[in-house]
Amino acid sequence: IASSFGKCPTLSDAAGGGTRSGDWWPCQLKLDVLRQFSPQQNPLGADFDYAAAFATLDYKALKADLKALLTQSHPWWPADFGHYGGLFIRLAWHSAGTYRAMDGRGGGGMGQIRFSPLNSWPDNGNLDKARRLLWPIKMKYGKAISWADLMILAGNVALEDMGFPVLGFGAGRPDTWQSDESIYWGSETTFVPAGNDIRYNGSTDYVARATQLEKPLAAAHMGLIYVNPAGPNGNGDPKQSALDIRTTFGRMGMNDSETVALIAGGHAFGKTHGAAAVTVGPPPEGASIEQQGLGWANPFGSGNAGDTITSGLEVIWSRTPTKWTNDFLSSLFRHNWTAVKSPAGEVQFEALDSALEYPDPFNKTFRRATMLVSDLALREDPIYGPIAKAWSEDFQALTDSFAAAWFKLTHRDMGPVTRYLGPEVPKQRFIWQDPLPTANYPQITEADQANLKERILAEKGVSISSLVSVAWGSASTFRGGDKRGGANGARIALEPQVSWEVNNPKQLKTLLAALNKVKQDFNKAQKGGKQVSLADLIVLGGNAAIEKAAAAAGHKIAVPFTAGRVDATQADTDVASFELLNPQADGFRNYRNVSGHVRARTEALLVDKAQQLTLTVPEMTALVGGMRALNCNHDGSARGILTARPGTLTNDFFTNLLDINTVWTTEPGGELFTGKDRATGAKKWTATRADLVFGSHAELRAIAESYAEAGGQQKMVADFVAAWAKVMNLDRFDVK
Q: Annotated catalytic sites, by residue?
A: 94
Closest by alpha carbon to 547, among 659, 450, 428, 679?
A: 450
The answer to whether residue 159 forms part of the interface with ligand HEB (CB under 6 A) is no
The answer to whether residue 233 forms part of the interface with ligand HEB (CB under 6 A) is no
Phi, psi of 688 (to 5 degrees): -115, 180
**Nearer to ligand HEB by C-beta: 245 or 716?**
245
**Nearer to ligand HEB by C-beta: 297 or 575?**
297
**Nearer to ligand HEB by C-beta: 93 or 707?**
93
Measured CA to CA, the distance from residue 557 to residue 38 in angstroms comes to: 28
User: Which part of the chain contacts ligand HEB (CB under 6 A), choosing from 310-318, 337-345, 500-508, 574-582?
Assistant: 310-318
Q: What crossing angle do the helices spanning 505-525 and 464-475 adopt, rounded to 10°?
A: 90
Contact partners, residue 331, CB within 8 Å, separation at least 6: 317, 318, 319, 351, 354, 369, 371
CB-CB contact of 198 with 209 (8 Å)? no
User: Which part of the chain contacts ligand HEB (CB under 6 A), choosing from 4-12, 258-266, 330-338, 431-439?
Assistant: 258-266
- Give the largest CA-CA distance in the chain: 91
Amino acid at 364: K
DSSP, res 443: P
The answer to whether residue 359 forms part of the interface with ligand HEB (CB under 6 A) is no
The answer to whether residue 229 forms part of the interface with ligand HEB (CB under 6 A) is yes
- Candidates 104, 172, 270, 284: give the one binding ligand HEB (CB under 6 A): 270
The answer to whether residue 245 forms part of the interface with ligand HEB (CB under 6 A) is yes
Closest by alpha carbon to 666, among 680, 653, 655, 676?
A: 676
Amino acid at 61: A
The answer to whether residue 122 forms part of the interface with ligand HEB (CB under 6 A) is no
The answer to whether residue 236 forms part of the interface with ligand HEB (CB under 6 A) is no
Near ligand HEB in 81-110, by CB under 6 A: 86-87, 89-90, 93
The answer to whether residue 348 forms part of the interface with ligand HEB (CB under 6 A) is no
**Nearer to ligand HEB by C-beta: 317 or 724?**
317
The answer to whether residue 349 forms part of the interface with ligand HEB (CB under 6 A) is no
The answer to whether residue 272 forms part of the interface with ligand HEB (CB under 6 A) is yes
Measured CA to CA, the distance from residue 468 to residue 351 in angstroms comes to: 65
**Nearer to ligand HEB by C-beta: 54 or 391?**
391
Near ligand HEB in 367-386, by CB under 6 A: 372, 374
CB-CB contact of 733 with 487 (8 Å)? no
CB-CB contact of 512 with 534 (8 Å)? yes
- Least distance in angstroms from the C-beta of 346 to ligand HEB: 9
- Least distance in angstroms from the C-beta of 245 to ligand HEB: 5
The answer to whether residue 206 forms part of the interface with ligand HEB (CB under 6 A) is no
Q: Is the dihedral of CA 183, 188, 194, 197 positive or negative?
A: negative
The answer to whether residue 152 forms part of the interface with ligand HEB (CB under 6 A) is no
**Nearer to ligand HEB by C-beta: 210 or 262?**
262
Measured CA to CA, the distance from residue 348 to residue 106 in angstroms comes to: 29
Amino acid at 433: Q
Site size toward ligand HEB (CB under 6 A) is 25
CA distance readout (Å), 696 to 316, 539, 658, 724: 59, 33, 10, 25
The answer to whether residue 361 forms part of the interface with ligand HEB (CB under 6 A) is no
The answer to whether residue 238 forms part of the interface with ligand HEB (CB under 6 A) is no
Measured CA to CA, the distance from residue 328 to residue 322 in angstroms comes to: 12
The answer to whether residue 283 forms part of the interface with ligand HEB (CB under 6 A) is no
Q: 3-class DSSP state for residue 624?
A: helix
- Least distance in angstroms from the C-beta of 78 to ligand HEB: 12
The answer to whether residue 310 forms part of the interface with ligand HEB (CB under 6 A) is yes
Measured CA to CA, the distance from residue 362 to residue 575 in angstroms comes to: 50
The answer to whether residue 313 forms part of the interface with ligand HEB (CB under 6 A) is yes
The answer to whether residue 80 forms part of the interface with ligand HEB (CB under 6 A) is yes
**Nearer to ligand HEB by C-beta: 93 or 653?**
93
Q: Per-residue x/- mask for ligand HEB, residues 165 to 184, rule CB under 6 A? A: --------------------
CB-CB contact of 545 with 630 (8 Å)? yes
Contact partners, residue 573, CB within 8 Å, separation at least 6: 434, 489, 491, 494, 495
The answer to whether residue 227 forms part of the interface with ligand HEB (CB under 6 A) is yes
User: Which part of the chain contacts ligand HEB (CB under 6 A), choosing from 21-29, 259-267, 533-541, 720-728?
Assistant: 259-267
Q: Which DSSP string corresponds to 79-126?
A: PGGG--HHHHHHHHHHHHTT--TTT---SSTT-GGGSTTGGG-GGGTT
Q: Per-residue x/- mask for ligand HEB, residues 624 to 653, rule CB under 6 A? A: ------------------------------
- Least distance in angstroms from the C-beta of 447 to ligand HEB: 53
Measured CA to CA, the distance from residue 93 to residue 610 in angstroms comes to: 29
- Least distance in angstroms from the C-beta of 421 to ligand HEB: 23
- Least distance in angstroms from the C-beta of 327 to ligand HEB: 14
Q: Which residues bind ligand HEB (CB under 6 A)?
A: 80, 86-87, 89-90, 93, 226-227, 229, 245, 262-263, 265-267, 269-273, 310-311, 313, 372, 374
